[in-house]
Amino acid sequence: MERVMIFIDGSNFYYGLRDALGTAKIDFDIFDNLLCGQERRLVHVHYYNVRLRQAVDKLHYAEQQKFLSVLQSIPHFDVHTGRLVDREREENCPKCGTNIVCHTKPRRV
């Protein structure tokens, strides 16, 4: 029997679902098994995302922690978390051409 491992970029997956379907609610256990089908055996799922900063947004942080704990309870499912990194970039103002420094804000999940 063919074996399958699934790797999910959590942020891209979330925003892709939200943009395509209008919602990002999904039962990962059912979804993962649908990807495998009857002929293949699910070995493991790896889900990657970053933890939101509690100091920036306590509500979204708490929601994300709850979501990640649900994912960790799914058999054969590992959650891998990284960290948010603020980045600066330079852009030209589209109206006047002035060079400005922008700070990239982390995306919410």
Half-sphere exposure of 24 (CA within 13 A, CB side): 13
pLDDT digits (tens, 9 = 90+) for 45-60: 999 999 888 888 899 8
pLDDT digits (tens, 9 = 90+) for 12-28: 999 999 999 998 888 88
Average pLDDT, the chain: 85
* Predicted structure pTM score: 0.73
What three-state secondary structure class fits 25? coil
CATH number of this structure's domain 2-104: 3.40.50.1010
What pLDDT sits at residue 103? 63
Domain parsing of the chain, residue ranges: 2-104
pLDDT band at 109 (very low <50, low <70, confident <90, very high): very low
